[in-house]
């Protein structure tokens, strides 16, 4: 049976653009040929796709273009959510918390020299840090520490695996007076997390 030379390519375009199964009758209508000619064109298209990543599949509702199962791992990577990167400010705050914990927002601000509300909020949302209690001083400010999520994210077994502090940062961290280390009042993780977000947003 004669088949228009470009019919397989035309069917390929239609199946790709449709995004859903197309019955033979609909393909015949769109290509302005008989259903028998469409079936011949589908067979030719399948031959053209034999060494490609796509294939023609026949289902209860008609024909579709589909990816071949042997390339599933590539599609899985495509569907993975993009990895979010922390800003320089968030990384800086995270370093202060990691090496100085438990630490208050005021102490973090003192080391950095700027307000840390935004980065703290980001780190709390990503569960890299959490509130571990309150400092027993007037106002009872929140004390922040790192979490298991932080350890996993950075491939650490424990805080003992943290790399040595850079000289400048180490000196800044040591500048926080030991007198600031007032007793800590602990509280539940769930209550702490909500209160911490309120304090940071204040």
Q: Summarize pLDDT for 115-161 with one digit per residue, the tens.
A: 999 999 999 999 999 999 998 888 899 999 999 989 988 888 888 88
Question: What is the CA angle 154-73-126, rounded to 5?
Answer: 30
CATH at 58: 1.10.10.10
Between CA 169 and CA 152 the distance in angstroms is 23
Extended strands (E) in the chain:
54-59, 62-67, 129-135, 142-146, 184-185
Give a yes or no: residue 1 inside a domain.
no
Its domain, for residue 162, covers 88-201
| pLDDT tens string 51-73 | 899 999 999 899 999 999 898 88
Boundary-marking domain end, from 79, 102, 123: 79
Which of 79, 105, 120 is the last residue in one of the domains?
79
CB 88 within 8 A of CB 82: no
**Of the candidates 126, 128, 122, which has an alpha carbon nearest to the alpha carbon of residue 154?**
128
User: Which of 58, 79, 100 is the endpoint of a domain?
Assistant: 79
Q: What is the pLDDT of residue 166?
A: 58
Query: Is 2 part of a structural domain of the chain?
Result: no
């Amino acid at each position: 049976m004669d088949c228009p030379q470009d019919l397989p390519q035309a069917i390929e375009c239609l199946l790709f653009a449709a995004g859903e199964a197309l019955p033979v009758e609909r393909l015949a209508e769109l290509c302005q040929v008989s259903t028998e000619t469409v079936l011949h064109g589908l067979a030719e298209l399948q031959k053209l796709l034999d060494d490609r990543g796509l294939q023609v599949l026949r289902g209860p509702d008609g024909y579709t273009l589909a990816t071949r199962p042997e390339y599933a791992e590539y599609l899985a990577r495509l569907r993975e959510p993009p990895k979010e990167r922390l800003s320089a400010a968030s990384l800086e705050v995270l370093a202060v918390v990691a090496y100085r914990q438990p630490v208050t927002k005021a102490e973090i601000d003192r080391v950095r020299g700027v307000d840390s509300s935004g980065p703290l909020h980001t780190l709390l949302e990503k569960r890299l840090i959490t509130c571990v209690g309150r400092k027993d001083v007037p106002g009872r400010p929140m004390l922040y520490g790192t979490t298991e999520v932080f350890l996993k994210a950075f491939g650490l077994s424990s805080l003992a695996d943290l790399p040595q502090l850079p000289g400048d940062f180490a000196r800044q961290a040591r500048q926080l007076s030991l007198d600031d280390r007032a007793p800590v009042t602990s509280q539940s993780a769930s209550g702490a997390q909500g209160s911490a977000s309120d304090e940071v947003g204040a």
